[in-house]
Structure 1
Amino acid sequence: MKIQYPTLKTPLTIGVTAPSSGVEQHLHLLITEAEKQLIQRGMKVIIGNTTWTQLKGRSTTKEKRVSELMDYLLDERIDVVMPPWGGSFLMELLPLIDWDELKKAGPKWILGYSDISTLSFVYTIMTGYASAHGVNFTELSAPQWDELSSKWIDVITCKTGHSITQSSSHYFQSSWEQVYKNPATGFYFDSETEWKVLNQERSNRMTGRLIGGCLNTLQILIGTPFDYVQSFINEYCSEEGTIWYLESVGMDAAKIYRALWQLKYNGWFNKCNGVLIGRAGLYENLGDFTLVDALGDIFDEMGIPVFYEVDIGHVPPQLVLVNGAVGEVIVEEGRGTLKMQFC
């Protein structure tokens, strides 16, 4: 079976809905400024009611969230569903989504990260439709977009049968402190980027069909009716194999190890050709047990390349990775490139 990619019209119309967390009133500036930036670039923006509210860690009730989400996914005017940001409770919507209706509707871009990857990941493995892991809507509130963040437009407008290449950043943002103090001004890069290879004896290149997201939220899917990973691997990745990309926030080395262990022994890494690990947000070692220890204990016996400190996730900037696209990743002297082919 073949992955299907959305076909876009111009000008693009972005639908903003909050299936997880909404935006509290004192941060509404992030929404209005992001809307302004997209309109200035010739796009249209439709903002849903769930975006503007927040209560008990959620934008609103799960019934209202799923209703607006389904409306946006089925609305032919909307090209990209782009939530304001992530959150904690998107999994509540999975049993309420009409997956058969989404399959009938055809592919539509979902773009975001953090808890949004709960949705985009399941969307791809259950339907065979591509989805995108990258910037959230609020991060587009900056008056100028950095090179990696701005790539989302090029990625989602790439046509089936074509390819697109992204390169690693030169610097990343080590702390969100300045962003919180100065909302809607962009990121504050202060640290030099270096993609790292876990085992120098392994290849500095990997190829396979991309799949992944936020480790914190994907882990909870195991054992649920939404764990279609084995079917996805067998039906869509039998020839190319997979490249898994994973990132985390607020997990120490032991928590990352336990989560990866659970994925491994649930068979998620079957036919895996390589793994990309994003820079870990709010990370700590557990005593002398480090991230490198965790990754080695999980992947060394598999004999596959593992690249870490990659531009993915909660420590910006980040690449836009397409679930379902065939990727080729190369790391040389701390610099990395990702080529994705929409096939």
Structure 2
Amino acid sequence: MKYPEALKKGDTIYVTAPSSGVPASLHGVLQQAVEKVQTRGFHVRVGETAWQQQKAASADRFQRAEELMMALADPEIQVVMPPWGGERIVDILPLLEWEWLRELPPTWILGYSDTSTLAFAYTMMTGTASAHGTNLFDLAAPIWDDVTKKWERALKAPQGEAIYQHSSSHYQSSWKKAFEQPGSGFVLDTQTSWKHLEGANTDELSGRLLGGCLNTLPRLVGTPLDRVQEWRSEKVIWYLESTGMDAAEIHRSLWQLQQAGWLDNAAGLLVGRPEGYNDTEGFTMEDSLKELFGGRLPVWYNADIGHMPPQWTFINGAFANLRFDRGQAEMTMRKS
């Protein structure tokens, strides 16, 4: 596993939109996020795609791919950080010159939602670690909560040094209040309680981290980007989260990953709080998890991952030790 160099003050973060860009009505929030990150001592450059959006994408697939490739090849850029996710990052994946990227010095990719599709593929195809965590847009908040702000520590930590994260005390139950004043930060209004599928009060997991958005990662199954079988020698802790999926769709997506063999050598599964979720005729996400994994795989759900913030920063490929204790969790992660 290759790791990009540890982030430091004075480094450059490049904002490109390989999936969705930001519409004109929210340009002020994007600029606010850029300025906030600059106060942390980083240079921020913003690509053309970040400022535009039409037909569910920032630009045509060729422009999006070209701008991303430019950023990943530029030795003056240390982090690629999209403004947020979107719907159509799959369009550009066949256009990326993976063998060429594999030979370049590694660059951090950080984000979640559709960005996780790119980050996961980047790790699979180049052997380079990538980061799943906050997107740039959420960093417009005047104050970053203790969980969200760990993205900086995760990227700054030298290889081999412990990166510690603890579960949140509260999470945001809905985006409605946050969008009443875009850029004002999360409304953390509900007590966090991670749950163990078997009802255990305590548990521990160890393994390498892999994961992302359940809406999008199953689309990679069976494509040239599906190289999960190359990880069979590793015990993997999978982390997954979803948005706008009901229990039946979550079930089908997890079933697909299971049948494709992605979870064959799993050490455990972490499932984020599902955003925009509904049961399906009395069938729940918990029912799905029990049918697929009950008694066979340690599963923790309602975790700090994804679309119901705040969320941990996971590094794909990093080694992690996790402890679960009565609804709370802690993780020690190392780039090793």
Q: How many residues align?
A: 335
C-alpha distance after superposition, 1:37-58 (max 9, x if no partner): 1111211000000000001000
Aligned to 2:151: 152
Aligned to 1:261: 255
Distance 2:265 2:67 in 1: 37
TM-score (norm 2): 0.98
**Among residues 307, 311, 318, which one is paired with 2:304 in the alignment?**
311
Write out aligned runs for 1:243-322 (5 A). Answer: 243-301=237-295, 303-322=296-315
Distance 1:12 1:297 in 2: 47
Q: Which amino acid aligns with 1:328?
A: N
Work out whether residues 202 and 305 of structure 1, in 8 Å CA contact, stay in contact via their aligned partners in 2: no
Q: Which amino acid aligns with 1:305?
A: P
Work out whether residues 201 and 324 of structure 2, in 8 Å CA contact, stay in contact via their aligned partners in 1: no
Aligned to 1:182: 181
Distance 1:309 1:286 in 2: 18
Give 1:200 deviation, angstroms.
3.0
Aligned to 2:163: 164
Aligned to 2:97: 98
Call closer, same or farther: CA 1:204–1:62 in 2, change over 3 Å: same
Distance 1:78 1:111 in 2: 13
**Among residues 296, 315, 340, which one is paired with 2:333 in the alignment?**
340
Give 1:100 deviation, angstroms.
1.0
Give 1:305 deviation, angstroms.
1.0
Work out whether residues 85 and 112 of structure 1, in 8 Å CA contact, stay in contact via their aligned partners in 2: yes
Work out whether residues 16 and 45 of structure 1, in 8 Å CA contact, stay in contact via their aligned partners in 2: yes
Q: Which amino acid aligns with 1:260?
A: L
Aligned to 1:213: 212
Distance 2:285 2:205 in 1: 21
C-alpha distance after superposition, 1:299-326 (max 9, x if no partner): 115x221000000000000000000001
Aligned to 2:135: 136
Work out whether residues 205 and 305 of structure 1, in 8 Å CA contact, stay in contact via their aligned partners in 2: no
Q: Which amino acid aligns with 1:331?
A: F
Aligned to 2:72: 73
Give 1:163 deviation, angstroms.
1.6
Distance 1:208 1:103 in 2: 24
Query: Any stretches of 5+ residues in structure 1 without a counterpart?
Result: none
Work out whether residues 201 and 326 of structure 2, in 8 Å CA contact, stay in contact via their aligned partners in 1: no
Give 1:201 deviation, angstroms.
5.4
TM-score (norm 1): 0.96
State the superposition RMSD in angstroms.
1.1
Write out aligned runs for 1:210-249 (5 A). Answer: 210-231=209-230, 233-234=231-232, 238=233, 240-249=234-243
Query: Any stretches of 5+ residues in structure 2 without a counterpart?
Result: none
